[in-house]
Structure 1
């Protein structure tokens, strides 16, 4: 997918997340997401913050507070932002859905898989369905497979062949694991919730 196509999907995913969130109860906002230690509210805040990132000085101060740990930095920023009224988070997602502004440390290829995966982090534990375009999911899966940190997917799934059943995508070699490309993308990014949607001789090694 090219840059413009990717940004179109990013905007669509942000709007879809906003529409889902708008109908949640107070308890559902507090539901644990697929990200360990993150509530639905926290993931929503993270997605809402992406097109309106803090300034360089703020980020430097937050990095110091987090002891230089990237995951802690992300978590703490999201939790603090999640204290905002839920209606504000929904409104911001809609207002900035089409924004192409990016945090300094990332790019649109990373943003593409990030928003799709986080949409599922919210939807799956709530028993809701958000569609993920197969072509975009394949682009995201390829990006995760090749990027190394923070997922190290190629190393973690060494000796396994991953194959999508709904689009032309496969990587690796060895016993096969197959399923929908969106489930494979979730697997590559460390979401065990993808496992029930996958089959194949290599599945036991993925567990």
Structure 2
């Protein structure tokens, strides 16, 4: 069975403020696939993810993501593309003035959910999925870093994304917690959501094997399983 291609980059060039970040990039991601993007700090890993959710424009080549032509992406279409993506940041980016449930509710309402019972049911589902079903009433500052990152992953799952982009999701976590977060992302992938995760933590890549792609010298290359 041929899996559907979720993302295809052909000879793509990404630059920011005249600085070349990546050039001649060729990459495909299939539905339900887990890929690590590895490389040194500053090698272009985060910029690659940002180009996929419309924050950095793609200058050259062809780039298709879930039916969207990223080269021709209009500003008004970016929110619709982002609704199909789950984005996990290293620094959490939770709203610190409200509880976990209110954070998740805010995201659902911002993306068009209206019915209170549907909102509540979806929040319960994602909290269950990340093992945080008893923490909904906590404020972000009452949670550990690992718990906050689980909430961020729950937030990323709210709109049933086909792809999660996780940018250094373990960057601020201790080794044990990092392992738990990566295992959680693998579990989510097993249920059919593709995951692209940037990291420079080679221990995690070794301990939780998946496809590995390296960012180096402004190029992307598969380094095998």
Q: If the length of structure 2 is used for normalisation, what is the TM-score?
A: 0.30
* Structure with the larger strand share: 2
Q: Kindly indicate which of the two structures has a greater share of residues assigned to helix.
A: 1
Q: Which has the higher contact order (CA 8 A, sep 6+)?
A: 2
Q: TM-score, normalised by structure 1?
A: 0.32
